[in-house]
Structure 1
Amino acid sequence: MRASALTDVEQKIITFSHEHFGQRAGLRIKAWLELTHHLQNQSLPLQLSEVNNFFNQLVFIDDIKLWGEDDYWATPVQFLNAGGGDCEDFSIAKYYTLRELGVDDEKLRLIYVKSLTLNQFHMVLAYYETPSSMPLILDNIDGEIKPASQRSDLVPVYSFNATNLWITKGGVTGSQSVPAGNVSNLSMWQKLRKRSQHDTHHPIINLDQ
């Protein structure tokens, strides 16, 4: 992949991560920013695949170990600086990177599910070509992007994007999603937005876009 020229702001973000979180953190941020430049105006399948593969290189780390909290949703740069995170962090980073690449918010949903394989709650990112189409699932457990019809191991609980919140029934397909109001009702999402707004060191991803 040929690196595209980074902006002065992006270079400062890399330097900040390097100085405060170490050389590897700076290199991860640099690789991410170069990836977003490289994928601009590329095909959607390539964007989905490259973004999914990039973040799936990071390691899983429990919130309590990493942040000292039972449940903490990190910004994409916090995730990269730490070098890992839990399933919410993987999904959120993929979501905002795809949004930065111009994918419409209405085509993306973060889906909170029960993983039958792990017997625990989990989060994945779904891409919908149309509101009624079978979504593609981007996941850190199963790294291969698959239609939701091939992910019978996931039982949905609810889904959301930057605007709306749904209670999801009838499988991860979301074909029986029931509107549950505005995403402002989701407290963890609001905490994430505020955290990003107040972080002056890496204003790359606009959480309100």
Structure 2
Amino acid sequence: MFFILAIGFPVQAELPDWQQYFQPAQLNRLEQRFGPDGVARVQALEQWLLAQLAREATTAEQLEAVNHYFNRLDFISDAEHWGQADYWATPLETVASGGGDCEDFVIAKYFALRVLGVPPPNLRLMYAKAIELNQAHMVLLYLNQPDAMPKVLDNLLGEIRDGDARPDLVPVYSFNAEGLWRARAFDQGVRLKAGESGVDLWGDLMMRLAQEGEG
């Protein structure tokens, strides 16, 4: 069961209009880092988001579409991809570079669903222990109400399933821009990557997102 307990966490400001991240100045900076192929992937993402916004899709259809879109990217470890033990890439960094690890996929899915109108309280990024891999793993949760059984969006499993249908995952903690929740199953041998909560990595990510959106 995916039990979660609310604790205090600083509220992050709302992101500005998402399309400002795709303006010429931002694309030029991305081209300097990732080349023309990277910019082409980012522009394709913008067009895909616009197409999704034009659809009269249900939330379930949006979840499926976003999960599939980002799961197509290559899985690459942070050490290989960024030369760091742990780095939470922005969605544009992930797409422009053509891949990422589980945290990068989840972050990209989270913000894509935000663009498509899914409210922040319905989404949580969750650290868990992947039992079969015997390591920490991150997935995205969707809850249609606070006490609902979450839907799990995961790069390890293409099919979206309810949390109680994922016995291979032991919850550790979950968070979004509004709060941090610690699972009651916290003491399951999972070592977190930044202190006890990953808040530092989330704060660094939000800072770089703000920089990406500057003209």
Q: Which range, TM-score by smaller chain? A: 0.7 to 0.9
How far is the alpha carbon of 1:11 from its aligned partner? 5.7
SS of 1:158's equivalent? strand
What is the distance in 1 between the residues matched to 2:148 and 2:114?
Answer: 19
The 8 Å contact of residues 14 and 27 in structure 1, kept in 2 or not, is answered as no
Change (3 A) 1:22 1:197: same
TM-score by length of 2: 0.78
Q: Which of the residues 144, 147, 171 maps onto 1:132?
A: 147
1:29, CA displacement in angstroms? 1.1
Question: Does the CA contact (< 8 Å) of 2:21 and 2:213 recur in 1?
Answer: no
2:91 aligned with 1:86: no
Cα distance between partner residues in 2 of 1:187 and 1:120: 20
Is this contact kept in 1: 2:20–2:213, CA < 8 A?
no
Alpha-carbon RMSD across the aligned residues, in angstroms, is 2.3
Distance 1:8 1:197 in 2: 11
Q: 1:196 to 1:156 in 2, by over 3 A?
A: same
1:60 corresponding residue in structure 2: 75
Unpaired segments ≥5 residues, structure 1: 1-6, 172-183, 204-209
Q: Between the two proteins, what is the percent identity of the paired residues?
A: 43
Query: How much has 1:51 moved relative to structure 2?
Result: 0.6
Paired residue type of 2:209: S
Q: Distance in 2 between matches of 1:198 and 1:8?
A: 11
2:93 and 2:179 mapped to 1: Cα distance? 25
Q: 1:170 to 1:70 in 2, by over 3 A?
A: closer
Query: What do residues 152-179 of structure 1 show as CA deviations (whole Å, max 9, x unaligned)?
Result: 00001100010100111359xxxxxxxx
Instruction: Give the match's secondary structure for 1:64.
Output: helix
AA aligned opposite 2:45 = W
CA contact (8 A) 2:75 2:100 kept: yes
Report the Cα offset of residue 16 of structure 1. Answer: 5.2
Partner Cα separation in structure 2 for residue 198 and residue 152 of structure 1:
39
Which of 66, 70, 88 pairs up with 1:51? 66
Question: Would you say 1:155 and 2:173 are equivalent positions?
Answer: no
Instruction: Answer yes or no: is 1:42 the counterpart of 2:57.
Output: yes
Q: In 2, distance between residues paired with 1:8 and 1:109? A: 24
| 2:35 is aligned with 1:22 | yes
- Aligned residue in 2 for 1:122: 137
- Label 1:151 to 1:17 Cα distance change in 2 as closer, same or farther (>3 A): same
Give deviations 1:46-103, integer Å, cap 9, x for gaps.
1111111000000111111111111110000000111111100000000001011110
Segments of structure 2 that go 5 or more residues without pairing to the other structure are: 1-18, 187-196
The TM-score with structure 1 as length reference comes to 0.80
**Could you tell me whether the CA contact under 8 Å between 2:172 and 2:185 is conserved in 1?**
no
Match in the other structure for 2:92: 77
Q: How many residues align?
A: 184
Q: Which has the higher contact order (CA 8 A, sep 6+)?
A: 2
Between stretches 9-18 and 86-95, larger displacement belongs to 9-18
Q: Which residue of 2 aligns with 1:180?
A: none
Letter in 2 for 1:142: L
- What residue in structure 2 maps to residue 113 of structure 1? 128
